[in-house]
Amino acid sequence: MAHLHDEKIQFIEEKANAIRQSIITMLVHAGSGHTAGPLGMADIFAYLYFHGLKHDSKNPFWEGRDRVVLSNGHICPVLYASMAHSGYFPLEELETLRKFGSRLQGHPHREWLPGLETSSGPLGSGLSQSVGMALADRIDTGSPSERFFFTLMSDGELECGETWEAVQLGAREKLHNLIAIIDRNYIQIDGYTETIMPLDPLRDKFEAFNWHVIEVGGHSIEDIHDAVEQAKAVFGKPSVLIAYTIPGKGVPEFERKFEWHGKPPSEEEGRRALDELRTLGGKIKSEHE
């Protein structure tokens, strides 16, 4: 397994920081939307869009691309920001999020924005769609191909029955180019997942369903890389990354609070958050000082 060079890690970390800043700016402009999930998943998205994925932002319909299905559509600000930063569309367009006529719908709409693989929002359907894509791929190529089918999903949607229907089918079909990444941040709208509907032990559950399970810290680019590389190398079964993330990561004021699941920062909160991100928590001097 090839390790990432330090310069590459730093490059991806800087992209993750830029993506977080865009998320804050977008949400403040939109005046509605979700804050905690997008910030928590910024490192994983930055890794995928700036290293892990086979894709071409200038040719979004390239047949050989890996597919990214965002199942929990509500964290789309992190997807939109990652796409803009990697060249799918101009950065300025990010500020149209959730506005009338925008290609950046409040939950993703595939038809409106090239580079989106599906429309999502209602939870629990993304993994099914990835399984369908991987099955179609196998019919065409005779065996699971070199294209990978990534599903980004929340821990909350593991409460949906359909998710487990898809888990069973993916295992039965031995789709080893199917990789699910679960944002294990332990929060959902009404509170903590383990209070609302206990999900642990997640590793045991997925192993019982015959998936290859990798637990990973969701904020270490190096660890994310190793986990994705391991998942890509697995043969004969699908893989799931249980990525432990901090909801609201990068802005201490928002971190680990389920209250930030479904609301945007106010202008003032946004200003503080951007300052925090630009100075990396005061480690570097703010340009506003």
Partner 1 sequence: MNELNQNLKLNPHLFEVGVEQTPIRKGYGEGLVIAGDTNPHVVALCADLTESTQTLAFSKKYPNRFIEMGIGEQNMAAVASGMSAMGKVPFITSYAMFSPGRNWEQIRTTVCYNDQNVKIAGSHAGVSVGPDGGTHQAIEDIAIMRVIPRMTVIVPCDTIEARKATVAAAQHKGPVYIRLAREKSPIVTTDDTPFTIGKANLLLQPKDPDVLIIVCGVLVYQSVLAARMLMEKGIRASVLNVHTIKPLDAESILAAARTAGRVVTVEEHQALGGLGSAITELLSEQYPVPIRRIGVPDVFGQSGEPNELLTHFGLDAEGITKSVADFVHPH
Q: Which residues bind partner 1 (CB under 8 A)?
A: 67, 69, 109-111, 117-122, 124-125, 128-137, 139-140, 161-162, 165-166, 168-169
Report whether 66 contacts 147 (CB < 8 A).
yes
Pairing verdict, β 187-188 and 191-192 = antiparallel
Report whether 136 contacts 130 (CB < 8 A).
no
* Least CB distance to partner 1 at residue 117 (A): 7
Give the residue with the Cβ less far from partner 1, 171 or 231: 171
Please give the C-alpha separations between residue 86 and each of 71, 100, 113, 283, in angstroms, as whole numbers.
Answer: 21, 24, 14, 27
Give the residue with the Cβ less far from partner 1, 13 or 66: 66
* Least CB distance to partner 1 at residue 123 (A): 10
Report whether 22 contacts 274 (CB < 8 A).
no
Give the residue with the Cβ less far from partner 1, 137 or 223: 137
* Least CB distance to partner 1 at residue 124 (A): 8
* Least CB distance to partner 1 at residue 173 (A): 8
Please give the C-alpha separations between residue 256 and each of 39, 116, 139, 166, 194, in angstroms, as whole numbers.
Answer: 11, 29, 43, 29, 14
Rounded CA separation 32/29 (Å)? 8
* Least CB distance to partner 1 at residue 157 (A): 12
* Least CB distance to partner 1 at residue 164 (A): 9
Give the residue with the Cβ less far from partner 1, 169 or 214: 169
153: part of which helix (H) or strand (E)?
strand 149-154
Residues 6+ apart with CB under 8 A from 141: none
Give the residue with the Cβ less far from partner 1, 12 or 167: 167
Phi and psi, residue 151, nearest 5°: -120, 120
Give the residue with the Cβ less far from partner 1, 51 or 205: 205
